[in-house]
Structure 1
Amino acid sequence: MTVTIGSRVVGGGRPSYVIAEIGLNHNGEVALAKQLIDVAAEAGVDAVKFQKRTPEISTPVHMRDTLRETPWGTMTYLDYRYRVEFDRAAYIEVADHALLRGLDWFASPWDVPSVDFLEDLNVVAHKVASACLTDVPLLEAIRDTGKPVILSTGMSTIEQIDAAIEVLGTDQLILMHATSTYPMEPDEANLRMIPVLRDRYAGVPVGYSGHERGLQISLAAVALGAVAVERHITLDRTMWGSDHAASLEPAGLQHLVRDIRIVETALGDGVKRVFPGERAPMAKLRRVLA
């Protein structure tokens, strides 16, 4: 089964669809978002992704008045959410920049009004964040757009994933194996879930959304058949913000895309053959000919 996002086909043996997750690493600054889009384009990714919230809806009640130290001073968590949220004009500006750089762009809507907001901007797909997998009204709103859906499965049981897929359907669905630890340690990666998900939801493409340090685990996911790879990106992992430490810096993103393409080439087609490069060693070393 394949799913088409923009002009790219995902699954069915195609190259992995690489998503650079900008998320909130723009820290509410359009100029920084554009820099991150440039980093993504220069690395050769396929898409950039943001997060869209209506803060008064998506911020848990028990968190709203919690004080947070920020570069803009001490503020409540709710005020912080408003501070880093892009409005329509900002999204149009960053979306145009992504399209000019040849990238798909979309976002994770965290509430129903955010789905409508993104639909008005004509996104090519919707991403369901792991934290939203159990939000049935949100899943229904996303399903009703008719757009491709990328569903992250972190912090979820298999029964919760079953229930989400029951709502979303499978016609335009890409599952993303994920572990929602920031940053994630290797012993929580559980990459064997990639073939488990693929077998359980027959025909649904399965990718990987990673929050680890380094590249090895994401590359192993591709070797296990991940049809898409998503990683957070930043200009500098030491920047202020909750996701920067689990993000890739520009050189790391470039190396990731390069190495994914090498791994894909190395996987081959599974048909045993004698390669041209083996013929000279065979003539020199094989004593008994078949």
Structure 2
Amino acid sequence: MSCYIIAEIGVNHAGSVELAKKMIDAAKESGANAVKFQTFTAEKLVSKNTPKVKYQESTTDKDESHYQMIKSLEFSYEDHIPVFEYCKKSNIDFISTPYDIESACFLVSIGVEIFKTASADIVDLSLHKFIAQNAKVAIVSTGMATLGEIEAVVEIYRQYNCKLTLLHCVSNYPCATESLNLNVITTLRNAFFCDVGYSDHAVGALPAVASVALGASVVEKHFTLDKEMIGPDHKASSDPEEFAELVKAIRETEVALGSPIKAIQQEEMQMRKVSRKSLFLIKDVKCGEVIMPEMLTLKRPGTGIYESELSNIIGSLSTLDLFAGDMLKIGDFKLV
């Protein structure tokens, strides 16, 4: 199965439907399978005294509070509808991350089938229960979480038979290479026996490509039209050119990974015939003479008899006169 690639528009639309549509077009052109938004109201999500995290302090107005920042990035319920319809028209999947049950309920009401939950909400068990009961597909980010916290959420989705994908994630923007711990992808798959993907907050394409090599079935990366746009997430996002390169690298990796079946490739056949070694005679052999080890050597090409058959040949009788330099063939000898 091809890796499912999500362009995380998130709040990079800055509340503009027209900008959101432009981003959808660019994500589609870049090769994304889906675009993802965030559905919330500032009043339900943030208390007035919530501080900003470090990356938000460095990418937004320092005089603006966390609440004011979140309020400025709201996408109204009404604005979701034309964007959702535009995705259907553009043949790209619409995904959103609801931050509360009311937002999730709205998404269900307009026909959203794929839900993504934020890493921070791994502890919002009521939200997970609602999604598990109403979504066709749930994608759960696991940044900042312990295995025990993840297990509690996995059990909820299993209780309601909701298709689940866990995303390995490190919750920093951008994330340092030494913190990526991509081997956790294998840990999650072995621990919970479900699909596992990767939410990428690193710089460059290499970590996402490596995640696919480790078996990630979903890759999500933040997406922007311009890193210099105003907002907390633009600088840590991929622009359309970078995202297209990411998609290309993932698709080439999938081709390179190929099949787990060890098979001789067609393009190896000539090399196999030429560069392998066959049994050759290094002295003349009379008809009826016993073939001994000292009469034989190994030389290219590999179109004759391999050394693995030597035990069947030693002690056999030549069926005709043979000469030094001849490649030994089936029919040149018979068992005694």
| Alignment-derived partner of residue 16 in structure 1 | 3
* Residue of 85, 91, 116 corresponding to 1:96: 85
* Residue of 15, 20, 30 corresponding to 1:43: 30
TM-score after normalising by structure 1: 0.88
Change (3 A) 1:86 1:173: same
| One-letter code aligned to 2:30 | A
Map 1:159-174 to 2 at 5 A. Answer: 159-169=148-158, 171-174=162-165
Looking at CA atoms only, which structure, 1 or 2, has the larger radius of gyration?
2
| Alignment-derived partner of residue 283 in structure 1 | 273
Shift of residue 69 of structure 1?
10
Change (3 A) 1:186 1:73: closer
Change (3 A) 1:185 1:73: closer
Gaps of 5+ in 2: 279-301, 307-336
Cα deviation 1:232-253 (Å, max 9, x = unaligned): 0011222222111221111111
Task: Indicate the SS of the match to 1:105.
Answer: strand
Alignment partner of 1:196 is 2:187: yes
Cα deviation 1:89-117 (Å, max 9, x = unaligned): 31112112211211010200011111111
Cα distance in 2 for partners of 1:65, 1:257 equals 32
Cα distance in 1 for partners of 2:179, 2:115 equals 26
Cα distance in 2 for partners of 1:264, 1:123 equals 29
Cα RMSD, aligned residues only: 2.2
| Alignment-derived partner of residue 30 in structure 1 | 17
| One-letter code aligned to 1:164 | V
Alignment partner of 1:134 is 2:123: yes
| One-letter code aligned to 1:30 | V
Indicate if the aligned counterparts of 2:4 and 2:219 stay in contact, CA closer than 8 A: yes
Map 1:102-141 to 2 at 5 A. Answer: 102-141=91-130
Cα distance in 2 for partners of 1:274, 1:208 equals 32
Cα deviation 1:161-186 (Å, max 9, x = unaligned): 11121223264111111111100111
Cα distance in 2 for partners of 1:69, 1:45 equals 29
Task: Indicate the SS of the match to 1:115.
Answer: helix
| Alignment-derived partner of residue 4 in structure 1 | none
Gaps of 5+ in 1: 1-13
Change (3 A) 1:285 1:110: same
Change (3 A) 1:286 1:64: closer
Shift of residue 254 of structure 1?
0.7
Cα distance in 1 for partners of 2:95, 2:180 equals 25
Taking only the aligned residue pairs, the percentage that are identical comes to 37
Change (3 A) 1:73 1:89: farther
TM-score after normalising by structure 2: 0.77
| Alignment-derived partner of residue 175 in structure 1 | 166
Alignment partner of 1:185 is 2:185: no
Shift of residue 88 of structure 1?
2.6
Indicate if the aligned counterparts of 2:136 and 2:162 stay in contact, CA closer than 8 A: no
Indicate if the aligned counterparts of 2:140 and 2:165 stay in contact, CA closer than 8 A: yes
Change (3 A) 1:73 1:117: farther
Cα deviation 1:117-164 (Å, max 9, x = unaligned): 111111121111001010112112212214311000001111111112
Indicate if the aligned counterparts of 1:198 and 1:205 stay in contact, CA closer than 8 A: yes
Cα distance in 1 for partners of 2:58, 2:237 equals 21
Indicate if the aligned counterparts of 2:197 and 2:216 stay in contact, CA closer than 8 A: yes
Task: Indicate the SS of the match to 2:235.
Answer: helix
Indicate if the aligned counterparts of 2:200 and 2:221 stay in contact, CA closer than 8 A: yes
Equivalenced residue count is 275
| Alignment-derived partner of residue 266 in structure 1 | 256
Cα distance in 2 for partners of 1:231, 1:286 equals 46
Shift of residue 285 of structure 1?
2.2
Alignment partner of 1:214 is 2:201: no
Cα distance in 2 for partners of 1:59, 1:275 equals 57
Shift of residue 259 of structure 1?
1.3
* Residue of 224, 238, 249 corresponding to 1:248: 238
Cα distance in 1 for partners of 2:146, 2:130 equals 22
